[in-house]
Copies of this chain bind each other. A is one copy, B any other.
Amino acid sequence: MKPWITISRKTILDHSKWLKVEDHSIQLPNGTTIDNWCWIISPDYVNVVVQDEDENFVCFRQTKYAANGISLAPVGGYLEPDEDPLTCAKRELREELGYQASEWVSLGRFPCDGNHGNGFANLFLARGAHQVGEIIVDDLEEQEIIKLSRSELMQSLLDGEFKVLSWSTAVALALFHA
């Protein structure tokens, strides 16, 4: 069972730091070639499920452009250039909540689109989280902080209240550890 091989790649859209698109020429294990496999390049990001020292989960209520209505959301954001995922996760926790955490659990690193790329989601659980300073606002969305018990978090997940794919992934995986 062999991987597909990238023979060549060319940029067909250079939109911004948020999006580039390439066409890849690919060779399959059976020798077949595909000449125009589209490949989406966008920044990797983190999502952080935050559990505080009282074992409550600290989430946001917010809107998101691709989701209908108001959603629950974990901490999250894009990696800066050359930033490693854990550093980004700690930065986003500090900026979005003013928190630091005593224990970090990696929940995995996943391509967002198995066929066409679109960056990697780096998921974390931050435990023993506690306030160390003020929130540093730089997001475009309004956010309200909400604290949920473990059973409330579970019910919200099962009710579909975490409306973006990676948000539900992060919360579901965190619940197996927290």
Contacts and interface: CB of A to CB of B under 8 A. Distances in A.
A168 to B, nearest CB: 6
A157 B175 CA distance: 13
Contact of A142 (B29, B70, B157): B29
A65 B172 contact: no
Given A3-B63, A4-B63, 5 more contacts: A15-B23, A19-B40, A64-B115, A111-B165, A168-B173
Interface in A1-39: 1-4, 12-13, 15-16, 18-19, 21, 23, 26, 28-29, 36-38
A66 B15 contact: no
Nearest to A140: B28
A86 interface: no
Contacts of A167: 114
A91 interface: no
Interface of A is mostly: mixed
Contacts of A114: 64-67, 163-167
Nearest to A34: B140
A56 interface: no
Nearest to A177: B158
Interface stretch (A94-102, A116-124, A126-134): A116-124
A154 interface: yes
A66 B116 contact: yes
A2 to B, nearest CB: 7
B18 A15 contact: no
Contacts of A37: 65
